[in-house]
Amino acid sequence: MQNVTILGSTGSIGVSTLDVIARHPDRFAIYALTAHSKVEELARQCLQHRPQVAVVGTAEAASSLSKILKEQGSKTAVEYGRDALCAAASAAECHAVMAAIVGAAGLAPTLAAARAGKKVLLANKEALVMSGRLFMDAVAANGAVLMPIDSEHNAIFQCLPAHYDRRPDAHGVQKIILTASSGPFLRRAVESLNDVTPEEAVAHPKWVMGRKISVDSATMMNKGLEVIEAHWLFGAPADKIDVLIHPQSVVHSMVSYADGSVLAQMGNPDMRTPIAHALAFPERMASGVAPIDLPKIGQLVFEQPDFERFPCLRLAYDALKAGGSAPTILNAANEVAVQAFLDGRMGFRMIDRLIARVMDKLPHEAVDSIAAVMDKDAGARRLANESINELMPA
C-alpha cells in the first residue's frame, strides 16, 4: 500500500490523480490533499478520499474547511501555510508525492519531498525550471525517485533505456524530440494575436488544463519550459532537444537513436496515462483512458515550429543556453506576464515582449542555493511588474 500526498489536489492534474487512485484502492491511499483556496472542493475530496491531513493557503480557509469537515464527522486534520505544505510532502507516513501546484509556489514543498527521499511525481515543471541543478542534486543526494508527469517527459522516459543515467551519448541517444500541439493559435494571423482574449487563449484544442499552463501553451512558453525541463531530467544539452509541432497530440514525444531508430509513445491526450504510468512504475495499471483508435485518426502530421509566431519558444532556448539564473528569471517574468494577461491588464503579444525585456535587463548569474533562486525570482517579478506600464502603448 502506497500513501500519496497530492500537492494541488483541486487542480486539473490533482483531480486526474484522484481519479486514477480511486480505481486502485488496493494499491494506494491518500496521505494528504492540498489546495490554495477552493475550500468546498477540497472538503468534498476529503470526505471521499479520507486523507490524514488537508492543507490550505490561509488561516481563514483552514477554519472554513475544519468547520465543514467536523460537521461531516471527518477525522482529517486541517493545516495551512507553506510549512504545512512542506510537512505534508515530507512526512514519514507518505511514500509518494504528486507535485501538482502551479508555478513557483510549488517549489518549496516539491523540494521538501525530494529532500525527504520520496517518490516525486513531477507535474510542476516551473519548480524544476527555476531551480534546475539544485533540484536534481537534492533528488540524487537523498535517494528520491523522480518520475516525470508532463506527458512529453513521461513519453521520453518510456522511450529511453531502462537504466538510462542522464548521459545521452552513452546510450546512443541523438535527439530528444518534444512534440507540441502548439495551442489554439497555430494558424491564426500573427497580426491579430494581440487582440486575442484570455478565454480564447485558454481554449486549448486538445487538452483540458489549468489557466496558466493553457496560456503557456498558446504562447508556446509551455514547450520552452519543457525544453528546459527535459534538459534537467535527461541530461541533454539544448542542441539535442528539438521541438516538432504535432497538432493531433497523439505522439506525446520521441527519442531518436544513433542507429536511425526513433521510438515514440502514443496515446489519447489524457493526463491519467502518464499519472498511472508514474504511480505504478515499473508495473502498468489501468488509468481509465481508452486506447487510441489509429484507423480513425488515419494520418499523423508533424511540422517545424515557427519561432517568429512563437517568440517565447526562442526565449526559453536562450535562457537554457545562458544558464545560471536565466531560467529562473524567464519563469518568474512569464508567471507575471501570464497573470497580467489573464487579468486583462495587457495584450497577448505583450507576454513575450515583457519577458524579453526582463531577460535583457537582469544579469544572468550563477545560483548556488535555493535562497539565491528565490532572490532572483523576486527580482524578476519586481522588474516585470514595473515594466508592464512602461511597455503599454499610451
Footprint on this chain of ligand NAD (rule: CB under 6 A): 8-14, 35-36, 38, 57, 100-102, 105, 123-126, 150, 207, 209-210, 212-213, 271
Q: Which is nearer to ligand NAD, 153 or 357 (CB)?
A: 153
Among Mg ion, ligand NAD, none, partner that 105 touches (CB below 5 to 8 angstroms by kind): ligand NAD
Among ligand NAD, Mg ion, none, partner that 89 touches (CB below 5 to 8 angstroms by kind): none
Q: Which range touches Mg ion (CB under 5 A), out of 64-72, 149-157, 185-193, 235-243? A: 149-157
Residues 6+ apart with CB under 8 A from 311: 352, 356
Residues 6+ apart with CB under 8 A from 245: 179, 180, 181, 182, 186, 302, 303, 304, 305
Q: Is 2 helix (H, G, I), strand (E, B) or coil?
A: strand
Q: Which range touches Mg ion (CB under 5 A), out of 3-11, 51-59, 148-156, 277-285? A: 148-156
Q: Which is nearer to Mg ion, 51 or 148 (CB)?
A: 148
Q: Which is nearer to ligand NAD, 35 or 243 (CB)?
A: 35
CB of 230 to ligand NAD, least distance (A): 13
Q: Which is nearer to ligand NAD, 43 or 357 (CB)?
A: 43
User: Which residue number is nearest to ligand NAD in terms of Cβ?
Assistant: 11
Query: Within 10 Å of residue 109's Cβ, how many Cβ atoms?
Result: 28
C-alpha span between 159 and 203 (Å, rounded):
30
CB of 366 to ligand NAD, least distance (A): 25
- Asked if 207 contacts 217 with a C-beta cutoff of 8 angstroms, the reply is yes
Q: Which range touches Mg ion (CB under 5 A), out of 144-152, 168-176, 278-286, 335-343? A: 144-152
Task: Report how far Cα 208 is from the mean position of its chain's Cα atoms.
Answer: 14
Q: Which is nearer to ligand NAD, 128 or 383 (CB)?
A: 128
CB of 274 to Mg ion, least distance (A): 9
Q: Which is nearer to Mg ion, 240 or 252 (CB)?
A: 252
Residue 338 grid coordinates: 501570464
- Exposure string of 315-354, with b = 16+ CB inside 10 Å and e = fewer, is bbbbbbeebbbbbbbbbbbbbbbbbbbbeeebbbbbbbbb
Residue 150 touching Mg ion (CB under 5 A): yes
Extended strands (E) in 181-222: none
Q: Site mask, Mg ion, residues 53-92, x = CB under 5 A?
A: ----------------------------------------
DSSP assignment of 92-138: TT--EEEE---SGGGHHHHHHHHHTT-EEEE--HHHHHHHHHHHHHH
Among Mg ion, ligand NAD, none, partner that 158 touches (CB below 5 to 8 angstroms by kind): none
Q: Which is nearer to ligand NAD, 113 or 357 (CB)?
A: 113
CB of 226 to ligand NAD, least distance (A): 9
C-alpha span between 287 and 273 (Å, rounded):
6
Amino acid at the residue 118? K
CB of 364 to ligand NAD, least distance (A): 23
Extended strands (E) in the chain: 2-7, 28-34, 53-56, 77-80, 96-99, 119-122, 145-148, 173-180, 241-245, 251-257, 262-266
CB of 152 to Mg ion, least distance (A): 5
Interacting residues toward Mg ion by CB under 5 A: 150-152
